[in-house]
Amino acid sequence: MQELKVLSVEEKLNLDIPRISKEVLGAEFQKKVYLESYGCQMNFADSEVVTSILINHGYGTTSNINEADAILLNTCAIRDNAELKIRNRLKGFTELKKKNPSLTIGILGCMAERLKIKLIEEEKLVDLVAGPDSYRDIPNLLSKLEFEEKAINVFLSKEETYGDIEPVRLHSNGVTAFVSIMRGCDNMCSFCVVPFTRGRERSRDTASILHECNTLFNQGYREVTLLGQNVDSYKYTSEENSEVINFASLLEQVALLNPLLRVRFSTSHPKDITDEVLFVMSRYSNICKNIHLPAQSGSNRILKLMNRTYTREWYLDRINSIRTILGPDCGISHDMIAGFCTENEADHQDTLSLMDDVVYDFGYMFTYSERPGTPAEKKFKDDIEESIKQRRLAEIIAKQRLHSGIKNNLLVGTIQRVLVEGDSKKSDAHHYGKCDSGKVVVFKKVKEQKGEYVHVRITHCTTGTLIGELESLQDGK
């Protein structure tokens, strides 16, 4: 799952708030909550669910931390650095707490689930702890703190999907949105804490997903990303006719909602992505030809220790199917871990050679970070020196930069269909958007508007961005 930068609740509350008038967002609220999100796309989608729950229970939200009655951090536990960042953030609230003793400090999400009561009892950094399946209980936990010193709910559910809650779109540009289709994970990768912090896999009912996507389109959104720890495992049995709907079927139904609604998804697992999914992608032009397929390592020995349940050969076979069914222009990205337990130079070279075999468009690359309670922590020694991890990571990053440059240069001179998402970060005289394969495209503004499709001729590129000139609007003008 891709990592995102930290964001707080912004003025984007003015975009779309289902069933709630903007007048209600004023001073009538007795309590205001400040919410920060860390980590992956799923966490950011969860924060939108949490905000909806809070607003529907009479709470207000604020982007000014100094006027908040409660500060909630939605956290990530995937790496030690992520947790360290959050701990430092919590320690930074000490002065605010001194000035306002009634201020509530709360932690949500994966780190809350992993550390549970330790954050309250031992470290005394927070007053409230709520795990990923306890978000409906947050208003009750906040109320409880008016009479008690601490409040905690880290119960993991086998049913909770939040499928009936319409998220408040905090982290969206009004054009693209995340739609969660399932929660949890049954893949016990030895390095990963997710099965212990998010619980077992369960799929959201298909009708609620389709309703959310259709509602987004009617509100002006033109791209949805279907989210799950392993979207290929999506499976929902209809209560009406006992029909079993798998991910390929769901993907097709979302694509059929409207040809102007772009569809992306993340994340796929190499052991589960099927040709059926690839053929559905090939049939619909509005399903983006862009697949995130984490490899983690190119070494069969390391893959086995990681319990990834596939081999290098299996992975390359899936890559071959993607190229065969979807064509060479399909964007493929990866996750790669440097310095997993016992990794030697030969294993590292296998990873580099896998990258050469695939030539990825993009990647998320990290050093191995041992997580307490995982199978790897219990069974293996984290025995690779940090300097070696960093050197191997640098080589992986350098390789990916080379490949990203190669893949981007292949598109110079081509015309790409781009969904305009807004102003470029570097210049308000330029728009940016993504092309079908997921690459960011920047081009000088003419008369196109945010949310429109345009055709852009790519004139040059960097390793991370395609740069071009507007060729035509969608209607050809």
- Summarised one tens digit per residue, pLDDT across range 198-211 is 999 999 999 999 99
In a domain, 441, yes or no: yes
Q: Is the pLDDT of residue 160 over 90?
A: yes
**Cβ-based neighbour number of residue 80 at 10 Å:** 12
Helix (H), strand (E) at residue 333: strand 331-338
Helix (H), strand (E) at residue 335: strand 331-338
Answer yes or no: do 144 and 249 share one domain: no
Domain finish residue from 230, 265, 288: 288
In a domain, 166, yes or no: no
Answer yes or no: do 91 and 69 share one domain: yes
Question: Strands, DSSP E only, in 47-109?
Answer: 60-61, 70-75, 104-109
Give residue 424's pLDDT: 95
In a domain, 402, yes or no: yes
Q: What are the backbone angles phi and psi of residue 6, rounded to the nearest 5°?
A: -70, 135
Answer yes or no: do 12 and 146 share one domain: yes
pLDDT tens sequence across 384-443? 999 999 999 999 999 999 999 999 999 999 999 999 999 999 999 999 999 999 999 999
pLDDT tens sequence across 452-465? 999 999 999 999 99
CA dihedral 108, 293, 296, 183 (to 10 degrees): 30
More confident residue, 79 or 430: 430
What average pLDDT does the segment 216-232 reach?
96
What average pLDDT does the segment 303-317 reach?
98
Give residue 120's pLDDT: 83
Closest CA to 108 of 81, 88, 80, 137: 137
Mean pLDDT score of the chain: 91
CATH of the domain at 440: 2.40.50.140
Please report which confidence band the pLDDT of residue 171 belongs to, taking 50, 70 and 90 as the band edges. Answer: confident
Answer yes or no: do 205 and 334 share one domain: no
Q: Is the pLDDT of residue 382 over 80?
A: yes
Answer yes or no: do 140 and 215 share one domain: no
342: left (phi over 0), alpha (psi -120 to 50) or beta: left
pTM value > 0.85: yes
Give residue 272's pLDDT: 96
Q: What are the backbone angles phi and psi of residue 185, rounded to the nearest 5°?
A: -155, 135
- The SS3 call for residue 249 is helix
Please report which confidence band the pLDDT of residue 233 belongs to, taking 50, 70 and 90 as the band edges. Answer: very high
What average pLDDT does the segment 46-51 reach?
95
Please report which confidence band the pLDDT of residue 191 belongs to, taking 50, 70 and 90 as the band edges. Answer: very high
Domain finish residue from 270, 288, 306: 288
CATH of the domain at 185: 3.30.750.210
What average pLDDT does the segment 33-37 reach?
94
What average pLDDT does the segment 43-51 reach?
94
Q: Is the pLDDT of residue 172 over 60?
A: yes
Class of residue 158 by CB neighbours under 10 A (exposed 0-12, middle 13-18, buried 19+): exposed
In a domain, 16, yes or no: yes
In a domain, 160, yes or no: no
Please report which confidence band the pLDDT of residue 170 belongs to, taking 50, 70 and 90 as the band edges. Answer: confident
In a domain, 227, yes or no: yes
Give residue 118's pLDDT: 85
pLDDT tens sequence across 85-122? 999 999 999 889 889 999 999 999 999 999 888 888 87
In a domain, 386, yes or no: yes
Cα gap 332→328, rounded to integer Å: 10
Cα gap 188→344, rounded to integer Å: 23
Answer yes or no: do 186 and 278 share one domain: yes
Q: Is the pLDDT of residue 2 over 70?
A: no
Q: Is the pLDDT of residue 339 over 70?
A: yes
Give residue 8's pLDDT: 42
What average pLDDT does the segment 76-91 reach?
88
Q: Is the pLDDT of residue 17 over 50?
A: no
Domain finish residue from 96, 124, 153: 153
Give residue 475's pLDDT: 53
- Residue 36's DSSP bridge partners are 8, 73
Answer yes or no: do 423 and 378 share one domain: no
Q: Is the pLDDT of residue 251 over 50?
A: yes
More confident residue, 450 or 473: 450
CATH of the domain at 119: 3.40.50.12160
Answer yes or no: do 85 and 28 share one domain: yes
Answer yes or no: do 394 and 421 share one domain: no
Answer yes or no: do 420 and 459 share one domain: yes
In total, how many domains does the chain have? 4
Cα gap 300→187, rounded to integer Å: 18
- % of the chain surpassing 90 pLDDT: 81
What average pLDDT does the segment 315-327 reach?
98
Cα gap 8→10, rounded to integer Å: 6
Closest CA to 91 of 77, 105, 80: 105
Q: Is the pLDDT of residue 18 over 80?
A: no
Answer yes or no: do 142 and 183 share one domain: no
Give residue 81's pLDDT: 84
Residue with tokens 């290098």: 312
Domain containing 14 equals 3-153
Task: Please give the DSSP secondary-structure letter assigned to residue 350.
Answer: H
What average pLDDT does the segment 204-228 reach?
97
Answer yes or no: do 38 and 120 share one domain: yes
Q: Is the pLDDT of residue 163 over 60?
A: yes
In a domain, 192, yes or no: yes
Please report which confidence band the pLDDT of residue 24 belongs to, taking 50, 70 and 90 as the band edges. Answer: very low
